[in-house]
Amino acid sequence: MDSSSQLVLLTGFGPFRQYVTNPSWTAVQLAVHVGVATASKVIILEQLAKNNGYKDRDVSGVCPVGHCCVEGGPEKIESLINMRAICKKLSGTDIGIIYSRDAGRYLCDYAYYLSLHHGNRKAAFIHIPQLNDGITAEIIGKTLQLIVQEMLGQVETALHCERAVLVKVSGEGMANHRADTQLPHPHHIEDKTHQPHSLPLPAEHQNHL
Protein backbone atom coordinates (compact mmCIF):
# COMPACT_ATOMS: atom_id res chain seq x y z
CA MET A 1 0.00 0.00 0.00
CA ASP A 2 1.08 3.62 -0.45
CA SER A 3 2.37 5.70 2.44
CA SER A 4 -0.96 7.53 2.82
CA SER A 5 -2.89 4.29 3.51
CA GLN A 6 -3.90 3.55 7.08
CA LEU A 7 -3.40 0.11 8.56
CA VAL A 8 -5.01 -0.90 11.84
CA LEU A 9 -4.06 -4.14 13.58
CA LEU A 10 -6.26 -5.07 16.54
CA THR A 11 -5.26 -7.99 18.77
CA GLY A 12 -6.39 -9.52 22.04
CA PHE A 13 -5.34 -12.26 24.45
CA GLY A 14 -7.26 -15.23 25.79
CA PRO A 15 -7.45 -16.62 29.34
CA PHE A 16 -4.16 -17.03 31.24
CA ARG A 17 -3.09 -18.03 34.76
CA GLN A 18 -5.92 -17.26 37.18
CA TYR A 19 -7.67 -14.88 34.77
CA VAL A 20 -10.49 -16.95 33.31
CA THR A 21 -11.91 -14.00 31.37
CA ASN A 22 -9.62 -11.62 29.55
CA PRO A 23 -11.35 -8.33 28.60
CA SER A 24 -8.78 -7.67 25.86
CA TRP A 25 -10.44 -10.55 24.00
CA THR A 26 -14.06 -10.35 25.14
CA ALA A 27 -14.28 -6.63 24.31
CA VAL A 28 -13.47 -7.36 20.67
CA GLN A 29 -16.63 -8.03 18.64
CA LEU A 30 -14.85 -9.89 15.84
CA ALA A 31 -11.37 -11.32 15.29
CA VAL A 32 -10.38 -11.28 11.61
CA HIS A 33 -7.38 -13.31 10.46
CA VAL A 34 -5.75 -13.00 7.04
CA GLY A 35 -3.51 -15.57 5.36
CA VAL A 36 -2.16 -16.22 1.88
CA ALA A 37 -3.44 -18.89 -0.52
CA THR A 38 -0.56 -19.16 -2.96
CA ALA A 39 -2.49 -21.01 -5.69
CA SER A 40 -5.57 -18.76 -5.57
CA LYS A 41 -6.45 -15.87 -7.87
CA VAL A 42 -9.37 -14.72 -5.71
CA ILE A 43 -10.13 -13.86 -2.10
CA ILE A 44 -11.46 -16.81 -0.11
CA LEU A 45 -13.73 -16.43 2.94
CA GLU A 46 -13.39 -19.45 5.20
CA GLN A 47 -16.68 -20.50 6.79
CA LEU A 48 -15.32 -22.95 9.36
CA ALA A 49 -12.25 -24.51 10.95
CA LYS A 50 -11.55 -28.15 11.78
CA ASN A 51 -10.07 -29.65 14.91
CA ASN A 52 -8.28 -32.79 13.72
CA GLY A 53 -5.92 -33.88 10.96
CA TYR A 54 -2.93 -31.54 11.45
CA LYS A 55 0.04 -33.58 10.26
CA ASP A 56 2.26 -31.02 8.52
CA ARG A 57 4.99 -29.36 10.58
CA ASP A 58 5.43 -25.60 10.73
CA VAL A 59 8.63 -23.70 9.92
CA SER A 60 10.04 -24.65 13.32
CA GLY A 61 9.35 -28.33 12.73
CA VAL A 62 6.52 -28.45 15.29
CA CYS A 63 3.28 -30.37 14.86
CA PRO A 64 0.26 -30.10 17.21
CA VAL A 65 0.12 -32.75 19.91
CA GLY A 66 -2.39 -35.40 18.88
CA HIS A 67 -2.66 -33.68 15.50
CA CYS A 68 -5.53 -31.58 16.83
CA CYS A 69 -6.21 -28.01 17.98
CA VAL A 70 -8.19 -28.69 21.16
CA GLU A 71 -8.30 -32.17 22.66
CA GLY A 72 -11.92 -33.20 23.04
CA GLY A 73 -13.17 -30.18 21.10
CA PRO A 74 -15.84 -30.37 18.40
CA GLU A 75 -14.71 -31.64 15.02
CA LYS A 76 -15.56 -28.34 13.35
CA ILE A 77 -16.67 -24.88 14.41
CA GLU A 78 -18.50 -22.55 12.05
CA SER A 79 -18.07 -18.81 12.14
CA LEU A 80 -20.95 -16.62 13.22
CA ILE A 81 -20.45 -14.82 9.92
CA ASN A 82 -22.38 -15.97 6.86
CA MET A 83 -19.55 -16.01 4.32
CA ARG A 84 -21.74 -17.02 1.39
CA ALA A 85 -24.00 -14.00 1.93
CA ILE A 86 -20.99 -11.67 1.85
CA CYS A 87 -19.73 -13.26 -1.38
CA LYS A 88 -23.10 -12.64 -3.03
CA LYS A 89 -23.34 -9.05 -1.80
CA LEU A 90 -19.82 -8.14 -2.91
CA SER A 91 -19.88 -9.92 -6.25
CA GLY A 92 -19.01 -6.73 -8.16
CA THR A 93 -15.63 -5.96 -6.59
CA ASP A 94 -12.35 -5.60 -8.50
CA ILE A 95 -11.26 -9.06 -7.37
CA GLY A 96 -13.34 -12.21 -7.11
CA ILE A 97 -14.58 -13.38 -3.71
CA ILE A 98 -15.58 -16.97 -2.95
CA TYR A 99 -16.27 -18.90 0.22
CA SER A 100 -14.76 -22.17 1.39
CA ARG A 101 -15.40 -24.85 3.99
CA ASP A 102 -11.81 -26.12 4.14
CA ALA A 103 -9.12 -23.79 5.47
CA GLY A 104 -6.36 -26.33 4.74
CA ARG A 105 -5.52 -27.98 8.09
CA TYR A 106 -2.33 -26.02 8.50
CA LEU A 107 -1.41 -22.87 10.44
CA CYS A 108 -4.37 -20.88 9.07
CA ASP A 109 -6.90 -23.56 9.97
CA TYR A 110 -5.26 -24.09 13.36
CA ALA A 111 -5.30 -20.40 14.33
CA TYR A 112 -8.84 -20.05 13.03
CA TYR A 113 -10.12 -22.97 15.09
CA LEU A 114 -8.61 -21.62 18.30
CA SER A 115 -10.05 -18.19 17.59
CA LEU A 116 -13.53 -19.61 16.98
CA HIS A 117 -13.25 -21.88 20.01
CA HIS A 118 -12.21 -19.17 22.48
CA GLY A 119 -14.14 -16.34 20.84
CA ASN A 120 -17.60 -17.91 20.84
CA ARG A 121 -17.56 -18.18 17.02
CA LYS A 122 -16.96 -14.43 16.61
CA ALA A 123 -14.03 -14.83 14.25
CA ALA A 124 -13.33 -14.90 10.54
CA PHE A 125 -10.50 -16.03 8.30
CA ILE A 126 -9.73 -14.55 4.90
CA HIS A 127 -7.33 -16.12 2.42
CA ILE A 128 -5.88 -13.67 -0.10
CA PRO A 129 -3.90 -14.43 -3.29
CA GLN A 130 -0.31 -13.48 -3.93
CA LEU A 131 0.33 -10.04 -5.37
CA ASN A 132 0.97 -9.57 -9.07
CA ASP A 133 0.43 -6.95 -11.76
CA GLY A 134 -3.31 -7.53 -11.78
CA ILE A 135 -3.75 -8.03 -8.02
CA THR A 136 -2.21 -5.13 -6.15
CA ALA A 137 -2.05 -4.42 -2.44
CA GLU A 138 -4.40 -1.47 -2.97
CA ILE A 139 -7.07 -3.66 -4.56
CA ILE A 140 -6.83 -6.26 -1.83
CA GLY A 141 -6.81 -3.61 0.89
CA LYS A 142 -9.96 -1.90 -0.39
CA THR A 143 -11.73 -5.24 -0.82
CA LEU A 144 -10.77 -6.37 2.68
CA GLN A 145 -12.22 -3.16 4.06
CA LEU A 146 -15.55 -3.85 2.35
CA ILE A 147 -15.54 -7.45 3.59
CA VAL A 148 -14.82 -6.50 7.20
CA GLN A 149 -17.57 -3.85 7.13
CA GLU A 150 -20.07 -6.48 6.00
CA MET A 151 -18.85 -8.85 8.70
CA LEU A 152 -19.26 -6.22 11.42
CA GLY A 153 -22.77 -5.51 10.16
CA GLN A 154 -23.67 -9.18 10.61
CA VAL A 155 -22.15 -9.25 14.10
CA GLU A 156 -24.07 -6.13 15.12
CA THR A 157 -27.31 -7.69 13.88
CA ALA A 158 -26.60 -10.89 15.81
CA LEU A 159 -25.82 -8.94 18.99
CA HIS A 160 -29.03 -6.94 18.59
CA CYS A 161 -31.02 -10.18 18.31
CA GLU A 162 -29.29 -11.58 21.39
CA ARG A 163 -30.12 -8.46 23.39
CA ALA A 164 -33.75 -8.61 22.24
CA VAL A 165 -34.02 -12.23 23.38
CA LEU A 166 -32.47 -11.38 26.76
CA VAL A 167 -34.91 -8.50 27.25
CA LYS A 168 -37.84 -10.74 26.36
CA VAL A 169 -36.71 -13.50 28.72
CA SER A 170 -36.08 -10.95 31.47
CA GLY A 171 -39.54 -9.45 30.96
CA GLU A 172 -41.23 -12.84 31.10
CA GLY A 173 -39.31 -13.67 34.26
CA MET A 174 -40.44 -10.47 35.95
CA ALA A 175 -44.05 -11.09 34.90
CA ASN A 176 -43.95 -14.59 36.35
CA HIS A 177 -42.42 -13.25 39.55
CA ARG A 178 -45.20 -10.68 39.90
CA ALA A 179 -47.81 -13.37 39.31
CA ASP A 180 -46.27 -15.59 41.96
CA THR A 181 -46.15 -12.81 44.54
CA GLN A 182 -49.54 -11.22 43.77
CA LEU A 183 -51.85 -10.92 46.78
CA PRO A 184 -55.10 -12.90 46.65
CA HIS A 185 -58.29 -11.07 45.66
CA PRO A 186 -60.18 -9.58 48.65
CA HIS A 187 -63.16 -11.83 47.94
CA HIS A 188 -60.91 -14.85 48.40
CA ILE A 189 -59.89 -13.78 51.90
CA GLU A 190 -61.98 -15.27 54.66
CA ASP A 191 -63.48 -12.45 56.69
CA LYS A 192 -64.13 -13.52 60.26
CA THR A 193 -64.92 -10.09 61.68
CA HIS A 194 -68.68 -10.23 60.90
CA GLN A 195 -69.40 -13.89 61.49
CA PRO A 196 -71.87 -14.57 64.36
CA HIS A 197 -70.39 -16.15 67.43
CA SER A 198 -72.05 -19.12 69.17
CA LEU A 199 -72.17 -18.28 72.87
CA PRO A 200 -73.33 -20.75 75.54
CA LEU A 201 -76.92 -20.07 76.67
CA PRO A 202 -77.78 -19.35 80.29
CA ALA A 203 -79.11 -22.37 82.25
CA GLU A 204 -82.62 -20.88 82.56
CA HIS A 205 -83.03 -20.76 78.74
CA GLN A 206 -81.68 -24.18 77.89
CA ASN A 207 -85.07 -25.85 78.68
CA HIS A 208 -86.71 -23.93 75.86
CA LEU A 209 -84.54 -25.55 73.21
For the beta carbon of residue 98, count every other beta carbon within 10 angstroms. 13
Give the containing element (helix H, strand E) for 158: helix 137-181
Please state the φ and ψ torsions of residue 105, each to the nearest 5 degrees. 50, 50
161 is catalytic: no
Identified catalytic residue from 69, 108, 117, 150: 108
d(CA 131, CA 124): 22
DSSP classification of residue 200: P
For the beta carbon of residue 57, count every other beta carbon within 10 angstroms. 11
Chain centroid offset of residue 139 CA: 30
127 is catalytic: yes
Beta strands in the chain (DSSP E): 31-36, 43-46, 48-50, 76-78, 97-100, 123-128
Identified catalytic residue from 46, 87, 118, 150: 46
Identified catalytic residue from 69, 117, 127, 150: 127
78 is catalytic: no
Q: Active-site positions?
A: 46, 108, 127
